[in-house]
Chain A
Amino acid sequence: MRKFWVFTPFIAFIVMGVFLYKGLFMDPTKLPSALIDRPFPSFSLPSLYEPDQLMTESDFKGEVALLNVWATWCPTCKDEHEQLNKIGLEEGIPIYGLNYKDDPMLARAWLERYKDPYTKVVVDQDGRLGLDLGVYGAPETYIIDRDGIIRYRHVGEVTEKVWQHLKGLMEIISAEEDV
């Protein structure tokens, strides 16, 4: 018994060391979303393609899809656009766009210039929907299931590696909904 107590400081040191060591490699700018497993916040905002048409959260229901928060003022959005084109246009995965605090004119010009991987784009000009979604920096990419529930959030650029991860998650979500 006595011998055991002698080792407790050492064990405590190891446990703390492991946690602190892990902390060294964690990205403090990546925050967990507060909305995981919660329904997509309700909204009524214009579509980018038909500005006189209002879209609501039910537009994002029906299939397992990606939702990408983007803007023309965001340099990383430009970096990831090619990857989104690959996902949306080549692989045929539905991507909903959320044009965040942007000028719709510039946004339309951007999609014309760099191709348009989105199936639907909603315009959130004053950032109200972004706020409800807890967006704190574009780009952000969410996985939304068939019932319009937010299942995953990725903050930052969608690279090929990130996409493979998202794809795996989307397949799992589709499979569990098929049951």
Chain B
Amino acid sequence: MKLLSLFPILLLLISFTSHASFETYEFSTTHNEMRYFKLSKELRCPTCQNQNISDSDAPLAADLRRELHRMIEEGYQDEAILDFMVSRFGDFVHYRPRIAPETYLLWYGPFILLLGGFGVVFVVARNRRKRAALSQLSPSESKLDELQDTSNGDIEPSVELTSEERVRLERLLQQDKNQ
């Protein structure tokens, strides 16, 4: 009975081992071993495209793991190893593509879109505020007309408008009325 209760734990252990890589490599240092596991998760298998080379059981992935192990043990830096892979299989092979003119759009595109979005929000908000300000002005519209008509200087307008501004105001007010 006690043995039976251990069974689920046994199952758990089995599921853990199935995540391990397919072959075992010896490493001279644990640091190298950590680098191997980190890089093998960052490199994409070109044959089975949505797996990294540590997950894939394709023969090509095995070759790439062998090459990765060799290069790490021979003392290549991470950068050199990634360059080696990219120069053979293209940027596609690295899950974190390098920043180069060809990948600027990929890296910075989302921020440009975000800025564009902010820009649109800003413009819309500004237009709305302007419109709101104008609609507060509209009751005095008749007064303004009076001013224009009589222009006897009895009432000092609080804001001096140039003729250009006046035309623009007229047009905006017209727009408001039409709405």
Contact = CB atoms under 8 A, between A and B. Distances in A.
B12 to A, nearest CB: 35
Interface in A129-160: 130-137
Interface of A: 28-29, 31-35, 101, 126-127, 130-137
B88 A34 contact: yes
B126 to A, nearest CB: 13
A34 B46 CA distance: 12
A35 B88 CA distance: 7
B87 interface: yes
The 8 closest A-B pairs by CB, nearest first: A136-B46, A34-B90, A134-B88, A134-B89, A127-B63, A136-B47, A137-B47, A31-B92
Given A34-B88, A135-B60, 6 more contacts: A29-B49, A31-B89, A127-B59, A131-B64, A133-B88, A134-B89
Nearest to A133: B88
Contacts of B92: 31
B82 interface: no
The A contact surface, by secondary structure, is loop
B67 interface: yes
A33 B88 CA distance: 8
Contacts of B47: 136-137
A33 B49 CA distance: 15
Interface in B74-92: 86-90, 92
Contact of A28 (B49, B59, B88): B49
Contacts of A135: 60
A132 B90 contact: no
Nearest to B90: A34
A154 to B, nearest CB: 16
Contacts of B46: 31, 134, 136-137
Nearest to A41: B88
Contacts of A28: 49
Nearest to B46: A136
Contacts of A33: 90
Contacts of A32: 90
A102 to B, nearest CB: 11
B40 to A, nearest CB: 15
A33 B89 CA distance: 7
A137 B60 contact: yes
A31 B63 contact: no
A127 B88 CA distance: 13
B89 A34 contact: yes
A101 B61 CA distance: 13
Nearest to B67: A131
Nearest to A12: B116
A34 B86 contact: yes
A34 B60 contact: no
A33 B63 CA distance: 18
29 contacts: A28-B49, A29-B49, A31-B46, A31-B89, A31-B92, A33-B90, A34-B86, A34-B87, A34-B88, A34-B90, A35-B87, A101-B59, A126-B63, A127-B60, A127-B63, A130-B63, A131-B63, A131-B64, A131-B67, A131-B88, A134-B88, A134-B89, A134-B90, A135-B60, A136-B46, A136-B47, A137-B46, A137-B47, A137-B60
